[in-house]
């Protein structure tokens, strides 16, 4: 029953992704010019002449003379085989451009998400169980600050004070000398030393939102009759809270895992730009600006894949967590 | 409140000396002495329990009776140590003496909140069950898990042993296959079974006291009888005392040994069930007894509401003359409705036919899931019917309601209006009462602005509310007042027929009488016709001249009130009538016979001639005098009445 449900969901992913990829491709093709024209124009503006023979070669190589449908299929079949296309701007395969940046992005994002959860859960639970206490008010206020201040602004503030007070330069994810170098002990140390600042900055807003969500959900559950039943059984307050209302409030949390996965890769573009992090965010921005279509398109499609997989994971987790979904799924329709 | 003091019988008054108390404690499981409880709101203390004293003798049942807001639930919360955070015990003692342990009892009022001592009592020595069996069980844990947890908390046992004890308990409360049910989730069980699971949870540690807070209010009448019977049985086996909190005097008469009546946080009257029912002293209790409808009422006899409302008839609503020999106002034939996918269709309503005569009130009775509300919705066209016809005829020619087009339906709407069950959610909290009552007229484009306002004022007077309240919002009214606003809204377009869907089920007994009387007065003075849907047989008995009974989507019996109540022909109707607890000590429920072993609406429990042997074989058999019963088409009236 559950297995069939999962299988059906996986099969359903295929048409979803096909439609998404077609949409992405259409949007990439919408502008009247393409990368080469932009490139030639840019060169001309700088008073230089572009290498037209090379451009012609690339155009043919990537089928720009072929009809749009054919190009779409070329791209999508390549994508499935792990060939994400060629970045014209960087003049190398997309896979190599993304390369180390992807690993770093995943590192930053996973740390951020973990921090968000580790900080938000205890605070949310405290706030809900001590509703309208000074602690609740204080923590809620801090959370609101976290939500209200834009990341990039927080990044600027951090950079300024780190420089003024400690004389530190906190930009980047490592000392620039290590970038694109093989992993070494020194490099790892450098990354760890730089990592915490973007994690705090990017995590601030998420933590605030998460605290509010946990608090609100848990407050709803605390009103429920079954919590009174649990206490009427003689359960100690802590255990009653963990087994019943907290467990129920997890539903919302699990259903959000789907949104988390893509954000692992895309990260916070603006913050990454301000802090000059070597993550994928700035890359995507630049690719969109310069119409580097394979880089941008592959990247977007990759994000869509992650979203779909994330939703699948949270649906499966929900089915495990909540017997009502597991056992009644079909009958409510 | 001098007469209150007089009304308390000596045996329930707290004893004055210590020597006496230890003596009494040996026989009383629970003694509440002069309890004062307050709630802190906005830094102000509001006293909700004002010096209540009561006792629960070991092995006996004491009923705590009162309307909503009387403080009866708060008292039970105080006994369990489960008061809301802003609740304070200001004075008084709650003495709990465990019969299993000799010696003086503990004063629960002094125990620290959620401390070890009170947690040992909760679930271990005092069990509790609640009104809503769905919401009081966790939806994501199996019932076995939840019941066993209570056992493991108080009497640690190895897993295997614990499961055995839990399954035994499930068997005791009437689960047919305890081993399988252990792993079931609450949503897989019916309401009655859920309440049984709650009972199992409360009783698995063999407590000395069971607190039951409205344990059967949310259940159907036959299920209620089953659960009440079960509680009595278990009490006889386990010997626990029961503190039964309820507003239903019928349940009290059938269950209680002693009764305590509370009103606004004070004891109005207390004594044995005999004293309270046969010799009520306090005016409040007398009024309460007179306000509850029962089957003894003669046609034309009125309920005595605690606060009567006299309608002032609006001149703009003309009285309809009812002349003899007019065609029925509403004629329903072969109505059918099914839900669900093609391979899994559930028939909610099947082959339902009836007539409602002009100026009459037709009552429709049935348990939850019988399809009675669906019928109401189909008449209003808020749900589409799969088949059948609904013909409305106010003397100007028949109108096929189900065939009306959109514009015609809109024009027809004023003829038929509806009153809903829930007085809270059926009024928009963002509209003033004036807007609520005017809305139907605005939608139908009737009258001018000033005339609409004048009509709204007349309607307010008509339902016994001060027209000056028109600018208020619904939240400033009580449940009964809101229901009267709902009635005013239904009257705004001067309809011929009003469909009342459980209009008083959410109201207290005292307010219920008031609303029922208002509906009756309006019917006779305006010549209205009612289609009255209810699960409460006593209410239908009071309101309706003709009564239809539904079970499993089919109309099983229809006839004049007299015939249905004195000569019920269908086994389902008989079970239903037998299961109603009456507030009368001389006609207590016969628990041995009133409860069928299976579900009351399960055709398998009916005699052969009422069972659908083959599809299409069942038909309404006329027993004479407009009394019809659903039975095998081959039967004659004589076969059925002889049974």
Residue B356 clears pLDDT 60, i.e. is over it: yes
Contact A225 B132 (CB under 8 A): yes
- At residue B121 the predicted structure's pLDDT band, cuts being 50, 70 and 90, is confident
Residue A83 clears pLDDT 60, i.e. is over it: yes
> What DSSP string runs through B604-628?
GGS-GGGS-SSTT-EEEEE-STT-E
Residue recorded with tokens 């009655």: B192
Can you give the pLDDT at residue B615? 60
Fold of A101-328: MetI-like fold (1.10.3720)
Contacts (Cβ under 8 Å, ≥6 apart) of A188: none
Task: Please report residues of B whose CB lies closer than 8 A to that of A327.
Answer: 185, 187-188
Most confident residue range from A10-19, A154-163, B333-342, B591-600: A10-19
Q: B128 and chain A: CB distance < 8 Å anywhere?
A: yes
Closest CA to A215 of A279, A268, A141, A324: A141
By CB atoms closer than 10 A (0-12, 13-18, 19+), residue A45 is exposed
Q: A229 and chain B: CB distance < 8 Å anywhere?
A: yes
User: Which one of B140, B153, B198 has the shortest CB-CB distance to A247?
Assistant: B140
Q: Is the pTM of this model over 0.80?
A: no
Least confident of A50-54, B327-331, B539-543: A50-54
Closest CA to B356 of B547, B553, B624: B547
Contact A248 B138 (CB under 8 A): yes
Residue B313 DSSP one-character state: -
Cβ pair B33, B205 in contact under 8 A = no
- Please tell me the distance in Å from A209's CA to the nearest CA on chain B: 26
Least confident of A294-308, B31-45, B114-128, B309-323: B309-323
Q: B120 and chain A: CB distance < 8 Å anywhere?
A: yes
Q: B207 and chain A: CB distance < 8 Å anywhere?
A: no
Contacts (Cβ under 8 Å, ≥6 apart) of B556: B549, B550, B570, B572, B573, B610, B629, B630
Residue B586 clears pLDDT 90, i.e. is over it: no
Q: Which region holds residue B404: left if phi is over 0, alpha if psi is between -120 and 50, else beta?
A: beta
Contact A234 B341 (CB under 8 A): no
Higher pLDDT, B437 or B305: B437
**Average pLDDT along chain A:** 81
Can you give the pLDDT at residue B63? 92
Residue B231 clears pLDDT 80, i.e. is over it: yes
- Please tell me the distance in Å from A14's CA to the nearest CA on chain B: 26
Q: B136 and chain A: CB distance < 8 Å anywhere?
A: yes
Domain boundaries, chain B: 330-568
Taking residues B58-74, what's their average pLDDT? Answer: 86
- Please tell me the distance in Å from A237's CA to the nearest CA on chain B: 7
Task: Please report residues of B whose CB lies closer than 8 A to that of A253.
Answer: none
- Find which of B76, B126, B138, B205 to mutate to test the A interface (most A CBs within 10 Å of its CB): B138
Residue A45 DSSP one-character state: H
Please tell me whether the interface predicted TM-score (ipTM) of this complex is above 0.85: no
Alpha-carbon distance of B406 to B401, in angstroms, equals 11
Domain at B330-568, CATH class? alpha beta
Least confident of A4-18, B173-187, B623-637: B623-637
Q: Rounded to 5 degrees, what angle do the CA atoms A197, A199, A201 make?
A: 70
A vs B, Cβ pairs < 8 A, gives 80
State how far the alpha carbon of A275 is from the alpha carbons of A146, A155, A191, B70, B193, in Å: 18, 7, 14, 64, 61
Higher pLDDT, A63 or B27: B27
Residue B16 clears pLDDT 70, i.e. is over it: no
Contact B140 A248 (CB under 8 A): yes
Cβ pair A192, A175 in contact under 8 A = no
Task: Please report residues of B whose CB lies closer than 8 A to that of A234.
Answer: 119-124, 150, 153-154
- Please tell me the distance in Å from B137's CA to the nearest CA on chain A: 5
- Please tell me the distance in Å from B203's CA to the nearest CA on chain A: 10
């Amino acid at each position: 029953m559950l297995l069939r449900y999962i299988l059906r969901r996986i099969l359903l992913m295929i048409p979803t992704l096909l439609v998404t990829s077609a949409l992405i491709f259409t949007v990439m093709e919408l502008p009247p010019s393409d990368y080469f024209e932009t490139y030639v124009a840019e060169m001309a503006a700088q008073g230089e002449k572009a290498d037209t023979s090379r451009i012609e070669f690339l155009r043919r190589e990537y089928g720009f003379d072929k009809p749009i449908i054919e190009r779409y299929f070329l791209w999508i079949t390549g994508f499935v085989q792990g060939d994400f296309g060629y970045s014209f701007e960087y003049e190398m395969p997309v896979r190599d451009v993304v390369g180390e940046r992807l690993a770093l992005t995943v590192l930053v994002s996973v740390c951020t998400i973990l921090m968000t959860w580790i900080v938000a859960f205890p605070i949310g639970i405290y706030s809900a169980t001590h509703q309208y206490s000074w602690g609740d008010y204080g923590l809620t206020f801090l959370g609101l600050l976290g939500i209200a201040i834009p990341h990039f602004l927080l990044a600027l503030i951090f950079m300024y004070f780190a420089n003024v007070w400690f004389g530190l330069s906190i930009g980047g994810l490592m000392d620039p000398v290590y970038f694109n170098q093989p992993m070494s002990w020194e490099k790892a140390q450098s990354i760890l030393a730089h990592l915490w600042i973007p994690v705090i900055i990017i995590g601030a807003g998420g933590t605030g939102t998460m605290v509010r969500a946990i608090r609100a959900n848990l407050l709803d559950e605390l009103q429920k009759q079954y919590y009174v039943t649990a206490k009427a059984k003689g359960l100690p307050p802590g255990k009653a809270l963990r087994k019943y209302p907290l467990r129920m409030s997890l539903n919302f949390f699990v259903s959000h895992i789907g949104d988390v996965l893509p954000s692992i890769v895309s990260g916070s573009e603006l913050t990454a730009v301000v802090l000059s992090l070597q993550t994928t965010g700035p890359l995507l921005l630049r690719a969109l600006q310069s119409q580097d279509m394979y880089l941008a398109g592959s990247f977007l499609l990759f994000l869509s894949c992650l979203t779909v997989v994330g939703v699948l994971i949270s649906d499966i987790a929900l089915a495990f967590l909540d017997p009502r979904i597991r056992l009644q799924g079909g009958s409510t329709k | 409140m001098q007469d209150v003091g007089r009304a308390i019988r000596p045996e329930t008054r707290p004893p004055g000396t210590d020597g006496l108390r230890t003596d009494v404690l040996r026989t009383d499981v629970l003694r509440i002495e002069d309890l004062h409880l307050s709630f802190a709101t906005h830094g102000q203390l509001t006293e909700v329990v004002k010096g209540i004293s009561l006792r629960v003798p070991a092995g006996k049942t004491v009923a705590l009776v009162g309307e909503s807001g009387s403080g009866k639930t708060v008292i039970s919360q105080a006994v369990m140590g489960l008061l809301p955070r802003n609740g304070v015990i200001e004075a008084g003692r709650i003495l709990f003496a465990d019969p299993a342990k000799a010696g003086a009892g503990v004063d629960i009022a002094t125990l620290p909140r959620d401390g070890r001592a009170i947690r040992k009592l909760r679930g271990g020595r005092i069990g509790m069950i609640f009104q809503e069996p769905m919401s009081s069980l966790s939806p994501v844990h199996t019932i076995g898990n939840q019941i066993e947890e209570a056992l493991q908390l108080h009497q640690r046992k190895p897993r295997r042993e614990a499961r055995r004890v839990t399954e035994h308990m499930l068997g005791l409360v009437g689960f047919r296959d305890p081993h399988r049910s252990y792993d079931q989730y609450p949503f897989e069980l019916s309401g009655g079974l859920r309440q049984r699971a709650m009972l199992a949870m409360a009783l698995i540690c063999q407590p000395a006291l069971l607190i039951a807070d409205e344990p059967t209010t949310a259940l159907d009448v036959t299920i209620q009888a089953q659960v009440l019977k079960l509680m009595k049985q278990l009490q006889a086996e386990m010997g626990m005392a029961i503190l039964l909190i309820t507003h239903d005097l019928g349940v009290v008469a059938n269950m209680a040994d002693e009764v305590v009546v509370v009103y606004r946080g004070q004891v109005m009257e207390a004594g044995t069930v005999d004293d309270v029912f046969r010799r009520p002293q306090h005016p409040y209790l007398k009024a309460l007894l007179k306000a509850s409808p029962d089957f003894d009422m003669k046609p034309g006899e009125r309920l005595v509401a605690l606060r009567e409302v006299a309608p002032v008839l609006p001149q703009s609503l003309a009285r309809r003359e009812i002349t003899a020999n007019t065609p029925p106002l509403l004629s329903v034939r072969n109505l059918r409705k099914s839900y669900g996918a093609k391979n899994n269709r559930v028939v909610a309503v099947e082959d339902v036919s009836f007539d409602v005569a002009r100026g009459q009130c037709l009552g429709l009775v049935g348990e939850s899931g019988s399809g009675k509300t669906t019928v109401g919705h189909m008449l209003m066209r808020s749900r589409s019917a799969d088949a059948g016809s609904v013909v409305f005829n106010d003397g100007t020619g028949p109108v096929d309601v189900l065939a009306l087009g959109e514009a015609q339906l809109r024009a027809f709407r004023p003829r038929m209006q509806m009153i809903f069950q829930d007085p809270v959610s059926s009024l928009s909290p963002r509209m003033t009462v004036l807007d609520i009552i005017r809305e139907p007229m605005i939608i139908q484009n009737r009258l001018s602005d000033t005339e609409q306002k004048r009509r709204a004022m007349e309607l307010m007077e008509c339902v016994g509310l001060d027209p000056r309240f028109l600018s208020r919002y619904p939240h400033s009214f009580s449940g009964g007042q809101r229901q009267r606003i709902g009635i005013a809204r239904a009257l705004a377009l001067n309809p011929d027929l009003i469909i009342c869907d459980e209009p008083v089920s959410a109201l207290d007994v005292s307010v219920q009488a008031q609303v029922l009387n208002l509906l009756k007065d309006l019917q006779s003075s305006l010549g209205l016709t009612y289609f009255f849907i209810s699960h409460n047989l006593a209410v239908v008995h009071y309101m309706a001249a003709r009564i239809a009974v539904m079970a499993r989507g089919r109309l099983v019996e229809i006839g004049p009130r007299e015939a249905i109540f004195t000569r019920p022909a269908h086994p389902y109707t008989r079970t239903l009538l037998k299961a109603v607890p009456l507030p009368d000590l001389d006609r207590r429920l016969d628990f041995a016979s009133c409860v069928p072993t299976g579900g009351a609406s399960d055709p398998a429990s009916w005699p052969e001639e009422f069972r659908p042997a083959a599809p299409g074989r069942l038909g309404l058999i006329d027993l004479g005098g407009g009394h019809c019963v659903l039975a095998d088409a081959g039967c004659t009236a004589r076969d059925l009445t002889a049974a």
